[in-house]
Amino acid sequence: MVIAAATVAVTGVRVRAERGRAVRVLLGALCLMGPGRAPAPVLAAAEPVVAVEVSDAGFKPATLRLRKGDAVRLSLTSTGGEHCFAIDELRVEKRVRPGRVTNLDLTPDRVGRFTYYCCLEPGNTRLRGRLLISE
């Protein structure tokens, strides 16, 4: 089917389709998204990546400093057994398995001091760190 001309409104974007395969593919993709559905957000390359390592000795770094509203990707790794990275107040919990990188995209929405810890060993005080979020 060849689309001679059509106008479609999807997620607030108006597209005028003329003859041509590339335009038909774009128009079809927009229609499949459906009204009110925006593409999933993508972490921009300019946003910082912070490496966090967890082992039986604890978290490295033991203190993370972030700013409210600034997006960051935490790149979580484990040297040793399986661990977890959890922050109760921010409703964060990620499993961290040895030999794999677990990414956590985080945009803090409030200022404060929060504790991150291994939820697999909540009583182990070595497996704790501090997240400091400033204005």
Mean pLDDT of 3-13: 38
From residue 133, give the alpha-carbon distance in Å to each of 67, 90, 91, 95, 110.
Answer: 5, 12, 15, 23, 7
At residue 112, does pLDDT exceed 50? yes
Q: Please, is 94 exposed, middle or buried when counting C-beta atoms within 10 Å of its C-beta (0-12, 13-18, 19+)?
A: middle
What is the three-class DSSP state of 18?
A: coil
Per-residue model confidence as pLDDT tens digits over 64-86: 999 999 999 999 999 888 999 99
Annotated domain spans of the chain = 1-40, 49-134
Place of tokens 């057994």: 81
Which pLDDT score is estimated for 40? 47
At residue 8, does pLDDT exceed 60? no
Mean pLDDT of 82-105: 93
Question: Candidates 3.40.50.970, 3.40.50.2300, 3.40.50.720, 2.60.40.420; correct CATH number of 49-134?
Answer: 2.60.40.420
